[in-house]
């Protein structure tokens, strides 16, 4: 259950194919450089039945407040406004982002364990994998 990992902080340790993933979303060069350069810290917390997933970095801070299965408005780090739904499947947060202006659908899975959060994201046929490691 993902709730076993509430309040833990995980920092980006490795990133694979993230530049290609951002290109597929149409993210411009300058934002891609920032996205590739930063090592965000993620933390999941929960208040009653609402989760908060925060990602902090020197470039952007993103705070997602959601109830499982309930669609919400989200602004992505590259400034697109999308409709997002996050469901909880065991240790995994499964997010689907729909971008009404491009019609693109992005899927992001975040799997929490004691040691790490494995983030696998895909759009079109491009997949990126980012591993966040627990902070001491």
**Rg of the chain on CA atoms, in Å:** 14
CB 59 within 8 Å of CB 38: yes
Q: How far is the CB of 120 from ligand ACD (least distance, A)?
A: 11
Identify the helix (H) or strand (E) that includes residue 17.
none
**In angstroms, what is the minimal distance from the CB of 91 to ligand ACD?**
17
Instruction: For ligand ACD, give the closer residue by CB, 50 or 75.
Output: 75
| Phi, psi dihedral angles at 32 (to 5 degrees) | -65, -40
Mark 54-93 with x for binding to ligand ACD (rule: CB under 6 A) and - for no binding: -x-x-xx-x-------------xxx---------------
Dist. CA 41–CA 64, nearest whole Å: 14
Residues that bind ligand ACD (CB under 6 A): 22, 25, 27, 31, 34-35, 38, 40, 55, 57, 59-60, 62, 76-78, 108, 119, 121, 130
């Amino acid at each position: 259950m993902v709730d076993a990992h509430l309040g833990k902080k995980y920092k980006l340790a490795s990133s694979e194919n993230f530049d290609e993933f951002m290109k597929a979303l149409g993210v411009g060069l300058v934002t891609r450089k920032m996205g590739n350069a930063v090592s965000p810290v993620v933390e999941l917390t929960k208040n009653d039945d609402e989760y908060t997933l925060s990602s902090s970095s020197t470039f952007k801070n993103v705070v997602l407040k959601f109830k499982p299965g309930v669609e919400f408005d989200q602004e992505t780090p590259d400034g697109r406004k999308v409709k997002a739904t996050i469901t909880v499947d065991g240790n995994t947060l499964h997010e689907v982002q729909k971008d009404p202006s491009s019609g693109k659908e992005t899927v992001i899975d975040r799997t929490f364990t004691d040691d790490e959060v494995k983030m696998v994201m895909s759009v079109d046929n491009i997949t990126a994998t980012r591993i966040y490691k627990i902070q001491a």
